[in-house]
Amino acid sequence: MLEVRGLKAYYGSAQALFGLDFAVEKGGVTALLGANGAGKTTTLRALSGLIRREGDILLQGKPIDALSAEDIARLGVAHVPDGRGTFTDLTVEENLRLGAYVRSDRSGVRQDFDRVFGYFPRLAERRPQQAGTLSGGEQQMLAISRALLMRPNLLMLDEPSFGLAPLVVAEIFRILGAINRDDGVSMLIVEQNASLALDLADSALLIETGRVALSGPSNAIRGDDAVRRAYLGY
Amino acid sequence: MNEFLHQLASGLALGGVYAITALALVMIYQATQLVNFAQGEIAMFSTYFAWKLMDSGWPYWRAFATTVVISFVGGVVIERLVVRPFAKAPVLASVIVFIGLALIFNALAGWLYGYSVTSFDTPFSGRPWFGNVYMSAHESGAVAVSLCVLALVYAFFRFTPLGLAMRAAAQNPVSSRLVGIRVGWMLAMGWGLAAAIGAIAGMMAAPIVYLDPNMMAGILIYAFAGAVLGGIDNPFGAAFGGFAVGVLENLMGAYVVGAEVKLSVALAIIVAVLVWRPSGLFGRRLVARV
């Protein structure tokens, strides 16, 4: 689905990524792990065209490294950004409609509305409510739903567990698993909570200061002693 | 009493012009946090364009519609060519660009059309509407047109996908790009809409204040005052503020201080309101967490 070779990224003149290589299989889930400041969020921003980057990024075999963020989104890359990217002054319904902004298949959009309300019934109850008044967990659900309304090929999630209560996190990860299984959406997921991410993912990579330190199937990563001590805490 | 109602009603006519000009200012402000000081001069230039069309024999409404469309395109072009290169520049650079635009359009109009004061046609002539003795037909028409513009703009932003995308782009550009909205074009559309609204404001104002290259200078100040009075981050508040300033200006001129200093007194009242409510009557108070 996604193939990345030699990805470098920059904030102004400061280089943040130093040549990452990894892939997300079609229908697969890849977890992107690492400490604070390692470059996880930067990687997602580079992939979706929000910051200056170099290297080969192939989406379904087609290069997207020279495209603008708008065009990458239109190719079906949905990025749920850190901080959730809620349109706080708009209603829940309007937030969702924006997810479907570039689509013209009205009946498909209606189906997808029903689908996300099936996953997150609480959003259905809050349709006319101003999105900024939702709780953190509800805003995360809204951000995921907005991304799903793009009917994405690749869903990129930046710390979906951030700042949420454990029960809410468990629910969100259960639903992400269902989305991956039922709809075959490929995912690239950035997480601080490594154990949670490895449960969902089939492959994983660990980055340190902008370089890949380790990569492989999630079981192998989970078994790695260094990862276990540093990120899983046992 | 009759005289009072008359003053009140004719304040509403220019108030409508202030209201839609304030709305145009708010549209640009919400997207860029900048006040477009060239809004008035661009509107004046559009009004001259309409006058030229009518002068060459076009019927009023055809000239009106053509001017609105051309102004929209002109607004988009100005954003693309002149404003966009300064998108990431410091605020003062943009302010200088706006002031420069205002001076350029003012000089251009003077050079093309001269500085003499010209009368401008109104489509609303003849007897007052519905036996309304307090307003001339043009004043009633101007209020009606202003209200139509406000309603149309509201409906556009509230009910159309493009309007929603423009609101989204103004509010959260990054999230907008991530759902595929072309944020740069939304901004250009905003300039186009503001220029089109400005053209309508100019054409409604010109029969009252007469056409000359400086006709919009005072109107822009009143509209800006109205926008700040109502709350510059709130389109409804800005429109209300525009009407309020129009009425206030007229009543002040007629009853309190005379026409010479009515501007100062109206502005003094606005300052007083802002001391009491710094974000305007309907503005949202921004509270920063420390």
Residue at B196: amino acid letter: A
pLDDT per position as a tens digit, B48-63: 999 999 999 999 999 9
pLDDT of residue B189: 95
pLDDT per position as a tens digit, A103-124: 989 999 999 999 999 999 999 9
Confidence band (pLDDT; 50, 70, 90) for A90? very high
In percent, the amount of chain A with pLDDT more than 90 equals 68
pLDDT of residue B23: 94
Which of B 166-195 lie inside 8 A of A, CB atoms? 167-168, 171-172, 174-183
Nearest to B167 among A85, A90, A146 (CB): A90
> How much helix, strand and coil, in percent to the nearest 5, is found in chain A?
40, 30, 30
B262 to chain A, minimum CA–CA distance in Å?
Answer: 38
Q: What is the mean pLDDT of residues A44-61?
A: 93
pLDDT of residue B19: 96
**Interchain CB distance below 8 Å, B178 and A97:** no
**Interchain CB distance below 8 Å, A99 and B177:** no
pLDDT of residue B66: 97
Rounded-to-integer distance, Cα A5 and Cα A47, Å: 11
**Interchain CB distance below 8 Å, B179 and A86:** no
Query: Over chain A, what is the mean pLDDT?
Result: 91
pLDDT per position as a tens digit, A58-88: 999 999 999 999 999 999 999 999 989 999 9
B163 close to A (CB below 8 A): no
**Interchain CB distance below 8 Å, B165 and A98:** yes
pLDDT of residue B289: 47
**Interchain CB distance below 8 Å, B183 and A97:** no
**Interchain CB distance below 8 Å, B178 and A78:** yes
Among B73, B47, B20, CA closest to B210: B47
pLDDT per position as a tens digit, B115-124: 889 899 888 8
Query: Over chain B, what is the mean pLDDT?
Result: 90
For residue B171, give the chain A residue with the closest CA. Answer: A87
pLDDT per position as a tens digit, A172-227: 999 999 999 988 899 999 988 888 889 899 999 999 888 888 888 988 888 887 77
**Interchain CB distance below 8 Å, A98 and B179:** yes
- B163: pLDDT strictly greater than 90: yes
**Interchain CB distance below 8 Å, B168 and A90:** yes
Long-range CB contact pairs, A164-170, < 8 A, 24+: A164/A136, A164/A137, A164/A140, A165/A137, A168/A136, A168/A137, A168/A140, A169/A193, A169/A196
Among A76, A91, A12, A32, CA closest to A214: A32
Nearest to A101 among B171, B172, B179 (CB): B179
SS (H, E, C) B66-112: HHHHHHHHHHHHHHHHHHHHHCCCCHHHHHHHHHHHHHHHHHHHHHH
B233 to chain A, minimum CA–CA distance in Å?
Answer: 12
Output B2 or B155, whichever has higher pLDDT: B155
Residues of chain B in contact with residue A94, where contact means CB-CB under 8 angstroms, are: 164, 168
**Interchain CB distance below 8 Å, A97 and B161:** yes
User: Global pTM?
Assistant: 0.89
Residues of chain B in contact with residue A89, where contact means CB-CB under 8 angstroms, are: 167, 171
Rounded-to-integer distance, Cα B255 and Cα A66, Å: 66
Nearest to A101 among B161, B171, B174 (CB): B161
pLDDT of residue B131: 67
For residue A93, give the chain B residue with the closest CA. Answer: B164
Output B156 or B130, whichever has higher pLDDT: B156
DSSP assignment of A40-89, as one string? HHHHHHHHTTSSEEEEEEEETTEE-TTS-HHHHHHTTEEEE-TTTT--TT
ipTM: 0.92
